[in-house]
Every structure is written in C-alpha cells, then in structure tokens.
Structure 1
Amino acid sequence: MSRFIAWLDNHGELSYDFQSYYSGEVGRKAKRLYYERPRLGTLAVMPIIFSEAFVPSARRLFWKPQRIPIGDAHYAMGFAFLVEMSAQDRYYQRARHFLNVLEETRCPGYEEYCWGYPFHWETLLGTIPAGTPLITTVPYVFEAFQQVYRIDGDDRWHRVMRSIARHALNDYKDIPTSATATTCSYTPFPEHSLSVVNANAYRAYLLTNAAIEFSESKYRDAAQRNLNFVLEAQNEDGSWFYARDGKRSFVDHFHTCFVMKALAKIEALTGNTDCTAAIDCGVAYYTQNLFDEGGVPKPFSRAPRLTVYRRELYDYAECINLAVLLRGRFPKLDRRVASSLNEILARWQTPEGSFRSRQLYLGWDNTPMHRWASSQLFRSLCFLLRANGDGQTSNS
C-alpha cells in the first residue's frame, strides 16, 4: 500500500469521476434526452460513449476534478485500519484529516450532518441536484466516524455520529410495500426513487448500527422494516435487481455486493437468521454468475444496456470487502477473492502507484478516480491486511 499512499500524497484528493462526462450541462442534457427520447438521445450520447470507450482521458473536457465525500470516508476507514494494525501516528493523522474534511463538506441547508455528490446527477427519474443527501453515501461516513471514534474516543466524532443517525432516521421517506416492510427514498425527496434495493440495505444497516451504538430502539424498528424490504426483494435464484420498479431490473456486481455487505454486517451485529439465509442464497448466485471463467469479477449477470468496458475496479474492491466479511464460510467465494486479488496486484496498479479505473475492450481507462473506485479499493485492501493480522503494510 505504500506505493499507493505515496501516489495519493502527490496526486492530491481531488479527482475526476465516472460521472464527470455527465456532470456538466452538455453531458446532463444528453443523458436526459436519452432517458426521455431514447432513439434521439442515443445519438446525443454516442460521442460520450465513444470517448469513454476509446479516449477516456477526454472526460476533462466535460467536467472538473472534485472532492467527493464517499471517497473521503473510504480513505478515512482505510487509514484507520492501518492504525489498528500498526499504531502509527502518521496514519492516525491521515484518518483524522479526512474526518475534518467531511465535517467541512456536509450538505448545506440541513440541520443534521449528511453528505451527497458535489455535482448534479442525472438519473432515470430526474435530476438530483448537487448537495442532496444520499442514503448510499451517509452510512459510509457514519462508519468512518465510528471507526476513528473506536480508536481515540473523541466525543466530537460521537456527536457527529448521533447527528448522522438522526438524519438517516428522520429525513428519508418510508413507503409500505407489505405488512412488515417499507422502502426508503434514495434522497430526502421521494420522487428521486423509492425502490432501490441497496439503498434500503444501507439504511437498514446504519440504523441497526445506531440502535446498538446509542441503545435506542427507534432506530431498530425503522431498520427492520427496510431490512424486510431487502429480504422480500431477493429473487428465487438468490439475486437482487437494482430496483423493484420494473424499470431497472438489472443485476450487477458491486450493487449485489452492497446488499450482501449490509446483510453480513447486520447478521454480525444481531445474529439475524433471515440475513443468514439470504446471504447463503445470495452468495451461491453471486459466485456462480458474477465472475468470469477465470474467476475474476464481471460487471453484470443481467446488463441494462451495452457496456463499453470489460471489467470494473469497483467490482474488485467490493468483492474483497464482501469476502473478508464472510471469510471462511464459503470456500468458492474465498477462491474467487484470491483470484481477484492476484489480478489487482498484477495488472491494475500503475507504475506510479495509482489504480486503473476500468479495463476497456481495447486497453485501459487509467484515469485515477477516488470514488470510482480508488478509495474503495484502498479501504478493502487495508481491511484485508487488518483481517490477516499483518502488522506491516505491503509494498503493493
């Protein structure tokens, strides 16, 4: 990891992003047209798709490098893992640094601490404005503050955690989907989506964690209803569609990992046997359908559209995270993560220490992107090192 940390020191904490193509006015209009009038919109996005596939460095023509909170949260957790292994002050100071940054970059206009994206995000259901809280970001920030709090006991971090928990409980909308389940909104505004499975998994875990952390049952009650939605959304074959809205019925690698990570964490905290059953079925599907013949992650088992890449860094990061959480329970998963780790170390790190973002059909997208997914991979590798009980950071 020392090579990557040295690269991070030199490169800085701003980067381009997967969404850089679509964050500016031109890209967002093209994407909106694609959603509203697919045939005409396809013509509008074709130059962008061509650039993604063949000249990915051209994303700098569409938007600017930015700091994205979910990346800062992952870096904070990664450095915290290194502190837990080595007790080195330099890693502790880096972890605190990222928490300080997160305090400064919270969403404006909200009473409680919360975070989202610093760019406008064009989605199938409309534009999510910059600075809108996202339930898929907030739980990672909670974990980052919690992990450093476990190290230093600083009440400042605990106060932020309490605020995050209140935000997660009170600022998202819940809509009943069955007698025992509700689906939460992706943002505080329900029109932005009410049926995304991983969003409900994230919130269920955060609120379960908060219920135990603060000994408050109100968090547990809301968490259980979202958890029930996730459990009821699982398909008979063990997979989960991205959303239960009839429009986004694709199955991809890292969102599948997001769901099972949350279930594994809830299971670890509570011993919930329904989570255990869902994980057992989910891992069977995952290991059979979301890896290629070489045993490394593939992006989709059921794709929503034509893709311009063969492999995705994010998939590797989340594969490692999930496998560490479930280590020893599923031999096939353990073999898959071993193959994935070997490929990451052999092919995905550049000579200067950064990680490639995607393997394209022709060549690589070498643009380092903190959110997509350099920070996630850094955290997962540090998590793996900590789990291995290795007190020395590697030179990878």
Structure 2
Amino acid sequence: MDRDARYTDAERSGARSTVSSDSGGGATAPDWERPVAADQRRKNPDFTVGRDFERDGIGSRDGPAVAGYDAAAVCRTALAWARERDYAGYDPYDGLNSPVLSAAARHWLLRLVVIHGVQKFPLNLRPYLGVPKERNPKGVGLFASAYLNEYERTGEDVALGEAERLLDWLADNRSPAFDRSSWGYNFDWQNSTKFFLPATHPCGVVTVFCARPFLQHHDLTGYDRSLEVARDAAEFLLEDIGTESVDGHEVLTYTPYDSYVAINANALAADLLWRVGQRLDERKFQSRARELFAFVVDAQTEEGGWHYSAPASDSHLGYDNFHTGFVLESLSRYVRERDADHPAREAYDRGMRFHRQNHFESDGAPKFEDDQSRPYDVHAAAQALITFTRRERPEDVELARRVLEWTLDRLYDSEGCFHRRIGRFVTDETPYIRWNQAWMCLALSAFLKRGHGEVRV
C-alpha cells in the first residue's frame, strides 16, 4: 500500500483517526497469550503494596535511601499509583483528543496551536475540554518494562504477572494500520511542519518502546511467543518505516508516512534490530542495525552531541537532554562487544562525557538543553537515570544518584505521583501518566536493578 493511501480525508483535515479494526491490519501479526498466570503463584497478593512504603523503611533490604526516601518503596508506590488508575491518564500532547477542539483543528497550524496551547497553559484544561484519560501504548510498554525489571531484581512472580497483563494489552492493541506488530500514540499528533500522525497509526519510536518488554520477557522466561512479537516489530522497522538518504547513509524516517529523519529514532530502531538479530542470529537485522549505528556515529558533532534531526537545519531542538540519552542508551548495548578504538565505542564515550558535562546542574537538576537550563523536566531526569546506570563508572553512578536526589526532592509527590517540570515562572504539577509516571517507574527500576545485578536487556 502506498504510504499516503493510509490517510483518510478526515485524517488529512485533522479529525481524529478512526481506523477500522477489521481493515485487515494486524491479521498476520503473531498471536500472543500470557503463558502462565504467574501472579497466581505469588505469595504476596499485590506486588505494589505492603512493602515499607513509609519513610521509616529507609535502609531496608529493598533499596538504597535517597533524599530521605527508600528508592524501592518509591518505585512500588509509583507503580501502585499508576495501577490504581489502570495505567490511564492525560498526556502533554493529547489536546486534539478534546471533542471540542479536534473538530476545529483542520490545518497543521491550528493543530499545533491546540496541542501546544493545551500543554503549555498554566492550568490543566483537559477536564474542562472533555479530554479523556486513556492508556498510551508507549506508557504501557514502559510500565511493563518497569515490572520486568522489578521481577528480575526481586524474583516476585506478581511483578511478572502484572507485566504480562500489560503485554496482553499491548498485543491486543497493536496498530490496525499495518499487518506487522507496531504501535502509535492514542492521540493525533502534529510534529511542527514535518508530519501529522493520526491516533493509532504507528511510528518507530513508539514501536520500539512497546516491543522492548516482549524481548525482555522472552529473556526472562524463555517464552517464544514474546520473541515472535519482538521480531515482528523489528520486521516493521525493516520493511514498513520509510527511508531517506542522508550523507551516504540509507536511514529511517520517523513514521511510514513522512521523510523526516530523527537521529534518536534511528538509534532506538538500531538498538531493537541489533538485539533481535542477536537473539535469533538473523544477519539481516544485525546488518541493518550496523548501518543505522554507523549513521548515528557519523552524525555526532565535534562537541560530542547530536542534533535532533538530520540535516541539523530541520531540528527544532539543539543538543537537548533526553533525546541525547536515547542515543547513548541505544549505543551502550551495541558497544559492549566493541574494542576501545571502535568508532562506535569512541562516539559513545565522547557522547557520555558531553552529556554528563553539559546537561546537568551541579545539584543534579536536568537541563533542557546544553545552553538552556529550564524547564527542568521529569522525562530528562528519568532518562538520565537509565543512561547513567548502563555502566559502572563512578562518575556516572554519582551523577545518577544526584539526579535521583534532585527529582525526589523537587518533583515527587508523596502520594506516589511525579510532577512534570519546573519552568522559569511556572511549575507544571500535572501527573501525566506516560511522560511522568511511566518514565520514572522505569527509571527507578533501572536504578535499583543496577545494585542488584544486571539483566540482559
């Protein structure tokens, strides 16, 4: 099918996508069923409760004390907060889900005004605009990964069972727009002037974060169907995402429908392709991953960072914090098997140094970009915890701890949720389910796992 043929007239005009579930999409994607009701074997009826959640639990065997909190208790409290809400909530960019505003957004500029007007307004307008609280596939993937990390760390079957329930949902909510396993956002999304992605239509980044927990689940349980889903998602990246030629490299576009090249999206795709290729010993995935990683390495600037897109003139961001983290986390797994003088290893080490020296305040606050401090955003803090726990260098571990201390002190609500950001004049305390909660649950689980043995992820 031609890329543009997937757009209906309504989607082009800005109305929310309503792809039919019987459109034929998803018909060939592999089935997935929860292998065993792991949670039925649990001793504790609820993984997220009953474990030292008060501050007097500091120093418990569960986890280290950070900023006056037991980090493991915070992780479980945050997961419990999300579970109580069925992992559904608002998103910074869900303004077009408003029945009041979506019908008016029939031009790319109007869509941008709606999306950013809602997300930047000092008060949360969504309850008044009728925006529903929903599950976001990317957020569900992040929560599933967090539970799998906790299962690896604690060995508690109930954590595995909760992860598998979320994998059930992801398997049932693959994008109907393509036959292969892929996922998109639960809202219409206009990315500047570059592209418009209707709700449920897939993109590479969301697909990667939804496929990762299936791959991790296979590594932890040996369940072949999980690996089949991850492989199918890798096939989607290989066959369905668009390609563009950039500086002699054949690279991936952000979605199947556009020509926009984001460097971090290529790094994330390369990471999944590489890992799936390793598990299955399939050269086509490994070869494509090498090509994409070569592009990422060549795209690194003399300073050691990466622009958001290629060419750099298309970038709406400079050297921003968490997208740099995406690139470095992706490279971290690839370079483990590379010599110190391998170009990818050198790029990774140089990038980590640039990231550490330019993206954080002395107290651990995550700067927005290298030359712009505010807003201090929870997403950047979360990705930093993940990025700097990928290796055991003292300077990385020390920075990760400072970032976590700052985050718990400034963005954590003791009820169990995280606030979004601290701006120059306004603090956004909206508890977004994906942007805040899912990312911090994953980050906390990664931080805790570092002290309890590394899992192959």
Q: Could you say which TM-score interval applies, normalised by the shorter chain? A: 0.7 to 0.9
After TM superposition, give the deviation of residue 326 of structure 1 in Å.
Answer: 2.5
Q: Does 1:113 align with 2:181?
A: yes
**Equivalent residue for 1:371, pick from 430, 434, 445:** 434
- Partners of 1:97 and 1:175 in 2: CA distance: 37
**Equivalent residue for 1:382, pick from 429, 442, 445:** 445
Task: Identify which range, 93-102 or 206-215, moves more after superposition.
Answer: 206-215
CA pair 171-46 structure 1, distance change in 2 beyond 3 A: closer
> Which residue number corresponds to residue 315 of structure 1?
380
Q: Does 1:61 align with 2:137?
A: no
CA pair 151-284 structure 1, distance change in 2 beyond 3 A: closer
CA RMSD of aligned residues (A): 2.6
After TM superposition, give the deviation of residue 317 of structure 1 in Å.
Answer: 0.5
- Partners of 1:158 and 1:150 in 2: CA distance: 9
CA pair 29-332 structure 1, distance change in 2 beyond 3 A: farther
Q: Does 1:32 align with 2:108?
A: yes
SS state of the match for residue 162, structure 2? Answer: helix
Counterparts of 1:190-339 in structure 2 under 5 Å?
Answer: 190-191=258-259, 193=260, 195-245=261-311, 246-248=313-315, 250-268=318-336, 273-302=342-371, 310-328=375-393, 331-339=394-402
- Partners of 2:399 and 2:384 in 1: CA distance: 8
> Which residue number corresponds to residue 233 of structure 2?
164
> Which residue number corresponds to residue 14 of structure 1?
88
- Partners of 1:212 and 1:203 in 2: CA distance: 14
After TM superposition, give the deviation of residue 322 of structure 1 in Å.
Answer: 0.3
| Deviation readout 1:88-120 (Å, 9 max, x if unpaired) | 121111010110010011000311111111211
CA pair 178-48 structure 1, distance change in 2 beyond 3 A: closer
> Which residue number corresponds to residue 415 of structure 2?
352
- Partners of 1:377 and 1:271 in 2: CA distance: 33
- Partners of 2:241 and 2:314 in 1: CA distance: 22
CA pair 31-333 structure 1, distance change in 2 beyond 3 A: farther
Confirm or deny: 8 A CA contact 1:356 1:368 kept in the other structure: yes
SS state of the match for residue 254, structure 1? Answer: helix
After TM superposition, give the deviation of residue 23 of structure 1 in Å.
Answer: 4.7
The TM-score normalised by the length of structure 1 is 0.87
The TM-score normalised by the length of structure 2 is 0.76
Confirm or deny: 8 A CA contact 2:246 2:310 kept in the other structure: no
**Equivalent residue for 2:146, pick from 51, 59, 78:** 78
CA pair 270-206 structure 1, distance change in 2 beyond 3 A: farther
Counterparts of 1:123-134 in structure 2 under 5 Å?
Answer: 123-124=191-192, 125-134=194-203
Letter in 2 for 1:26: L
**Equivalent residue for 1:5, pick from 79, 82, 107:** 79
Task: Identify which range, 356-365 or 201-210, moves more after superposition.
Answer: 356-365
Confirm or deny: 8 A CA contact 2:389 2:396 kept in the other structure: no
> Which residue number corresponds to residue 12 of structure 2?
none
> Which residue number corresponds to residue 28 of structure 2?
none
Q: Larger C-alpha radius of gyration, 1 or 2?
A: 2
Confirm or deny: 8 A CA contact 1:22 1:31 kept in the other structure: no
After TM superposition, give the deviation of residue 265 of structure 1 in Å.
Answer: 1.6
After TM superposition, give the deviation of residue 73 of structure 1 in Å.
Answer: 1.0
Unaligned segments of structure 1, at least 5 residues: 36-40, 392-396
> Which residue number corresponds to residue 173 of structure 1?
242
- Partners of 1:172 and 1:324 in 2: CA distance: 30
CA pair 357-103 structure 1, distance change in 2 beyond 3 A: same
> Which residue number corresponds to residue 251 of structure 2?
183
Confirm or deny: 8 A CA contact 2:182 2:236 kept in the other structure: yes
Confirm or deny: 8 A CA contact 1:310 1:358 kept in the other structure: yes
| Deviation readout 1:26-63 (Å, 9 max, x if unpaired) | 3783993279xxxxx8xx579927x73521x2233343
CA pair 23-332 structure 1, distance change in 2 beyond 3 A: farther
> Which residue number corresponds to residue 394 of structure 1?
none
- Partners of 2:196 and 2:115 in 1: CA distance: 21
CA pair 45-87 structure 1, distance change in 2 beyond 3 A: closer
CA pair 214-46 structure 1, distance change in 2 beyond 3 A: closer
Confirm or deny: 8 A CA contact 1:357 1:372 kept in the other structure: yes
After TM superposition, give the deviation of residue 366 of structure 1 in Å.
Answer: 2.1
Confirm or deny: 8 A CA contact 2:105 2:114 kept in the other structure: no
Specify which structure has the higher proportion of helix.
1
- Partners of 2:88 and 2:275 in 1: CA distance: 30
Task: Identify which range, 263-272 or 273-282, moves more after superposition.
Answer: 263-272
Confirm or deny: 8 A CA contact 1:201 1:226 kept in the other structure: yes
| Deviation readout 1:292-330 (Å, 9 max, x if unpaired) | 243321111256xxx9x62110001000000010231xx
